[in-house]
Amino acid sequence: MPGARSKPPMCRKRRRAANVTNDAISNPNDAPNVTPNAAPNAALPPGATIGILGGGQLGRMAALAATALGYRCHVFSPDADAPAKEVSAAQTTAPYEDRDAARAFAAAVDVVTFEFENVPDETLAVIAEGAPVRPGVDALHISQDRAIEKTFLGDNEIGTAPWAPIITAADLDPAAATGFPAILKTARFGYDGKGQVRVDTADDLAAAWAEINQVPAVLEGFVDFEREISVIVARGTGGETRSYVPVDNVHRDHILFTTTAPSTIDATIAEAAQAIADRIAGALNLVGLLAVEMFVTHDGDILVNEIAPRPHNSGHWTMDACAVSQFEQFIRAVSGLPLGDPARHSDAVMTNLIGDEADQWLEFLNEDGACLRLYGKTESRPGRKMGHVNRLSPMVRPAP
CA–CA gap between residue 65 and residue 157 (Å, rounded): 35
Q: H-helix or E-strand containing 122?
A: helix 121-128
Stretch that binds ligand AIR, among 12-20, 48-56, 200-208, 362-370 (CB under 6 A): 48-56
Shorter beta-carbon distance to ligand AIR: residue 221 or 376: 376
**Residue 384 binding ligand AIR, by CB under 6 A:** yes
Stretch that binds ligand AIR, among 53-61, 205-213, 229-237, 322-330 (CB under 6 A): 53-61
Q: Tell me the three state secondary structure of residue 18.
A: coil
Cβ atoms within 10 Å of 294's Cβ, excluding its own: 27
Burial class (CB in 10 A: 0-12, 13-18, 19+), 350: buried
**Residue 380 binding ligand AIR, by CB under 6 A:** no
| Choice from 57, 230, 258, 259 touching ligand AIR (CB under 6 A) | 57
CA–CA gap between residue 174 and residue 352 (Å, rounded): 38
**Residue 58 binding ligand AIR, by CB under 6 A:** yes
**Residue 52 binding ligand AIR, by CB under 6 A:** no
**Residue 54 binding ligand AIR, by CB under 6 A:** yes
Shortest spacing between CB 201 and ligand AIR, in angstroms: 30
CA–CA gap between residue 208 and residue 166 (Å, rounded): 12
Phi, psi for residue 71 in degrees, rounded to 5: -90, 165
* Binding string, residues 164-193; x marks residues near ligand AIR by CB under 6 A: ---------------------------xx-
**Residue 59 binding ligand AIR, by CB under 6 A:** yes
Number of residues that bind ligand AIR (CB under 6 A): 12
Pairing of strands 182-186, 163-166: unpaired
* Binding string, residues 110-149; x marks residues near ligand AIR by CB under 6 A: -----xx---------------------------------
Q: Residue 74: left (phi > 0), alpha (psi -120 to 50), or beta?
A: beta
> Is 123 in contact with 97 (CB distance < 8 Å)?
yes
Which residues would be at the binding site for ligand AIR (CB under 6 A)?
Answer: 54-59, 115-116, 191-192, 384-385
